[in-house]
Structure formats: structure tokens, C-alpha cells
Chains A and B, each alone.
Chain A
Amino acid sequence: MTSRVKSLTKILSSVVLTLLGLSIVTFLIGRVMPVDPVIAAVGDNAPEEVIVRVRAEMGLDQPLVVQYLHYLGQVLHGDFGMSVLTKNPVAVDIARVFPATLELATGALLLAALIGIPLGVWAAVRQGRLVDQIIRIVCLAGHSVPVFVLSLLSLLIVYAKLGLAPGPGRQDILYDGMITPVTGLLSIDTLLAGDLGAFCDALAHMAQPVIILAYFSMAYITRMTRAFMIDALKGEYVITARAAGLTGTRVVWGHAFPNVAVQLVTVLALTYAGLLEGAVVSETVFSWPGLGRYLTNALMNGDMNPVVSATLLIGTIYVGLNLLADLLYRLLDPRVT
């Protein structure tokens, strides 16, 4: 028990250190950007004394260390500064755009895992057979066709030609402003509001980007599951399970798969983090007001605070999901203490 407490303390302290390092890196990114935040705020034609005054107001005349500590203090208080572009506090902006990405990423990950894991296991069990080859080709396509090609094709065929799904955006104009945001996740907020029509509309809008992102992630999850599973099926304990008379399904899912689950957790965590980073391309093609678009927009306009804050958020997500994976190992594998 004490060894468990010890290892948990070790993990948590490494998480804190990583986060501190992350904050230093994001802070420095903000300082080395070839954009003068003062000029970005006051404009090119501002007189010299205004520039000097604003520079002092923004604290940019202080030594870097002082600036960093000041920044850290603000971040710890949830103050990420203002966005020059939207004239909103960055925290408010991110609270608005992040749920849109969260909804897309979570939907895509669930779909990808639910299909990808069984497909990977199936391919491993039938290694070298026709099914394996078909799954291989399906995954190869998912990996190699660029997301924007699939997205544009999907819009052209499913939306424009067939009219099976709504076009870009998160919801129909009909429901615009009708749903009070609670979680920011439209699929949940519409249910909370009890508006079934709006709920269906939200799901319909999600369908295309979610399926395309899921296909991309599924390709990876399937390949990894297949590789892990082929390895696990070579284990002597699989022969033991078969020798004991267990059915094939039970040997595969009850004995080999639990050994793979640990490795899959890492794959899923990293996939999820990658999706949460904001799929810039999908968000652009589908006019999805998410984190990826917000970040690129800010970057293009030299709006520094959102860029730094979004980078910090994405980094924190990676650290958080890695921590979660680390904790899950402990649950899934008795050998890890």
C-alpha cells in the first residue's frame, strides 16, 4: 500500500513539474513571436509615447523572469488576458469554442474506438486471411486520404447532392440562440432544454465531421489493436486457455484482450488528445467554431494571448490524459504498482 502511495506521489509531482515546464515554454513562445503585441494592440500609426505607455501598461518593459512570474500568477487565477481580435477575455472565448471541439473529439473517439478495436481484434485473429486484407485496405485509405478531401467530398455528395445531412455549422439557423448554453455541448444542452428537434439537428450537424474524424482515428486504432493482439495471441497463456477447453471467443476476449487493454489505453489517450487539439482542417471545412479554428485565426492575426493560452490548454490536455492513462494502467495491469 505504501509503495502505491509513493508511486502516486511520484506521478503527481512529475505532473506538476511538467505543467510548470509547459507554462515556461508557452510563455516563451509568446515572447519570441515575431509580432509586437503592442503594435498589434494600438496599430501601426500610434505615436511613440502611446507605444511606450502601452508597453509599460502591458508590463513588457520588465525583465523576463518578472514577466513570467506575473504571467504564472495570472494563469493560476484563471486570467489569460484579453483577445485583441474578439475584445473578450481569452478565458471566455475558450469556454465558448472548446466545448465545440470537445463534442467533435469525444464523438469521434467513441465511434473510432467502438469500431476500431473490434476490427483490430478481428484482423488479428484472422491474420493473413481475406478479412485481414480488407481491413488493412480500409485502414490504409483512412490513413492516407487527407481529411480535407474526405470532408469536401462528403459535403459535395452527402449534403449538396443527396441532401442526407445538413451543411456546415453546428446548428440550424432556426435554433440559433434558442438553446441556453449550460455545458456548451449542444448535444447535451438541447437535451437539458428538452428540445428534441434541436437535439436531432445538433446530432445531424455533428454526423459528417465526427464520422470523418472517427474514420481517420479508427484507422490508427485498428492497426495498433491488430499489432498488439497478434503479439498477445502468441502468448503461452493463450495455449493454456485453449487447452483448458475455453471457446475461441473467450480465449480472445477474456484472456488475450485484457493483456492488450493496457497498451490500448495509451493509444486511445493520445488519439483523444490529438483530436482535442482541434482538427483545424475539419473545423474550417465544416465551419465548426472550435478550438482549432480559434487558434489558427488568432495566430494569423498575431493575437498573442489566445495563442499562448490555447497552447497551454492543449499541453495541459496531453499531460492530463497521460496522467489518466497512467492511473488506468494500475487498474488494468496488476504488475504495475
Chain B
Amino acid sequence: MLAEIDNLRISFPTPSGFYEAVRGVSLKLGQEKLGIVGESGSGKSLTARALMRLLPSQARIEADTLRFDGIDILSASEQQMRAVRGKRAGFILQDPKYSLNPVKSIGALVAEVWRLHKGGSRREAMEAAINLLEQVKIRDPHRVAKSYPHEISGGMGQRVMIAMMLAPDPEMLIADEPTSALDATVQAEILRLIEELVSERGMGLLLISHDLPLVSHFCDRVMVMYAGRVVEELAASELSSAHHPYTRGLLDCIPSLSRPQERLSVLNRDPAWANP
């Protein structure tokens, strides 16, 4: 089991006491593709970040179990965490416009991560970086390696991000809305690339998105989160037979060509779902 989470709770201090943003999430992830969907604020990103302990320092994290490959994340030292971050689990952020350091060249960004985990000379690292850029299907990797993040497109930026995170050959990849900042045509390309690399390398994938059909298409299992809880978990193929009214509501909101609706349904929320 790569990731094991049981009863994870994340809360933030507010003037009126702690606010619980994640309220008892449990999940298990092996060498498979798990998708987490939910609206903004449902706690899906926080759950993923907690697994790599990348939350802001004021966040309070509690869990019965929070383990990566047997390592207890809650009690791990910063040094142990660095052996997990990057090296064993990669993390792809949402928007390459902000997630790539603007003052570093693409080549330097990828080479730095490679060298950090694999050692070797600067030249070797740069060669490896160019090789990685090729693997994420960037044409003309030599030229791209010399350019800066603001000089490349969003889609290419996300490929660079993937190359950075693949550099240490991790066993698991967490992708936090990796395509929501991209054009619709590029989205599919990036997801296909991620899927290809994940299957090729036999990695586990945690894909976070708010796009239900997209996730069900690329993942084996889907978890639906609402207000800091998992409301439904099912195999991607069984999505159409989902039971929970929230999941049903999400599905009904998707306009479809084969099943035209006079008026698109409105997503209804029931406060009771938040406190079962």
C-alpha cells in the first residue's frame, strides 16, 4: 500500500476557534489510479498536501493513520519527509504560470531536482533534464531547456512540471488539478501523458479534479468529496450507477449531446450531507 489515510482531520485557526476543513477522510492507494473529485473547498487538495506534509504551518493535522509506504507522516522528521517528497512521491501543481520559478531556466529547474536525488555532475544533470523533457514529449528540448517559464505555453509548462516530478523516478504521483488552468484541447493531451507515464512506470496516481467525467475516464476508482468528507467511493466504471444524491447531482449538471435537457439542472446541496 503506497498511501494509507484513516480518519484524517485538518483544521485551521480562525478568530472563533479552529475550523475543520477536512473532517475524517480515509483512503488507500496502491499501484492504481485514484481520482478525487469535489467542488472548491471540499478539502481534496488539503488531503493530498497533507500526505506530503506541504500544508501551511498553522494547519493542524490529525489522523488515526497517515502513512506513505509504511512511513508515519505525522511523526516523520523533516529529513525523512524530504526522502519522501520528490524522491518517492511527485506532486504536480495546478498552474505552471505560478508553480514554476520565474527566474530559473527550464533546464536548471529539471536538472536541479534530478541532481538532488541522483547526484552526478552539472553536465550529467543537464543531459538528464533534456532527456526528461523529451520523455514528456517536448519538441526541441534543447531550446526549451534554455528558455524561462514565461516564454513557454501553459501546456508546455505543465509538461515541464511533470518532467521535474518524474526526475527522481517516484513511485507515486499526486496531480492537483493538473489541467484546470489549461485549454480544453491541451487538457486531454496532458492527462494522456500522465496516464501513459504512470502505466509505463507502474506508479500510483492520485488525480484531483473537479471534472467528474474526466476523472472517471482516466482513473480506476473515484472518490467524491463534499465539505471535507468522502460522500461516495466507487469504481470508475460504475459511476453511472452512483447512489449519493450529490454525485447524482454532479452528473446531472453535465450537458450531454445524447441526452439533451431543456434546462440544465441546478446542483442542490443538503446540509445533512456534511453531518451524516
Contacts and interface: CB of A to CB of B under 8 A. Distances in A.
Interface string B215-237: 00000000000000000000000
Contact of A243 (B91, B103, B148): B91
Given A239-B91, A244-B86, 9 more contacts: A243-B165, A244-B113, A244-B165, A244-B167, A245-B84, A247-B82, A248-B78, A333-B102, A334-B105
Nearest to B165: A244
B52 A243 contact: yes
A244 B109 CA distance: 10
Contact of A240 (B101, B116, B117, B148): B101
Contacts of A241: 101
Interface of A: 235-237, 239-248, 254-255, 258-259, 262, 332-335
B100 interface: yes
Interface string B81-110: 011111100110111001111111100000
Contact of A245 (B82, B101, B102, B104): B82
A239 B82 contact: no
Given A244-B165, A248-B78, A335-B150, A237 B101 contact: yes
B253 interface: no
A245 B103 contact: no
Identify which of B93, B101, B102, B165 gathers the most chain A CB atoms within 10 Å of its CB: B101
A259 B101 contact: yes
A335 B148 contact: yes
Contacts of B91: 239-240, 243-244
Contacts of A258: 101, 103-104
Given A243-B90, A245-B82, A335 B54 contact: no
B116 A246 contact: yes
Q: Which 9 A-B pairs have the closest CB atoms?
A: A245-B86, A243-B91, A236-B98, A244-B86, A334-B148, A237-B101, A245-B85, A236-B99, A244-B113
Contact of B85 (A242, A254, A259, A334): A242
B164 interface: yes
A239 B78 contact: no
Which of B90, B102, B151 is most buried by chain A, counting CB atoms within 10 A of its CB? B102
B25 interface: no
B95 A239 contact: no
Nearest to A237: B101
Nearest to B114: A244
Contacts of A235: 98, 101
A334 B93 contact: no
B103 A239 contact: no
B95 A236 contact: yes
Contacts of A244: 85-86, 90-91, 112-113, 116, 164-165, 167-168
A247 B93 CA distance: 19
B100 A245 contact: no
Contacts of A247: 82
Contacts of B36: none
A240 to B, nearest CB: 5
A234 to B, nearest CB: 9
Contacts of A248: 78
Nearest to B101: A237
Contacts of B151: 334
B93 A236 contact: yes
A236 to B, nearest CB: 4
A235 B148 CA distance: 17
B161 interface: yes
B208 to A, nearest CB: 14
Nearest to A255: B101
Given A245-B85, A259-B102, A335-B102, A240 B161 contact: yes
A245 B99 contact: no
Interface string B3-20: 000000000000000000
Nearest to A127: B57
A245 B87 CA distance: 7
B265 to A, nearest CB: 34
B93 A239 contact: yes
25 contacts: A236-B94, A236-B99, A237-B100, A237-B102, A239-B91, A240-B93, A240-B161, A243-B52, A243-B91, A243-B93, A243-B165, A244-B85, A244-B112, A244-B113, A244-B164, A244-B165, A245-B82, A245-B85, A245-B168, A246-B82, A247-B82, A332-B103, A334-B103, A334-B150, A335-B150
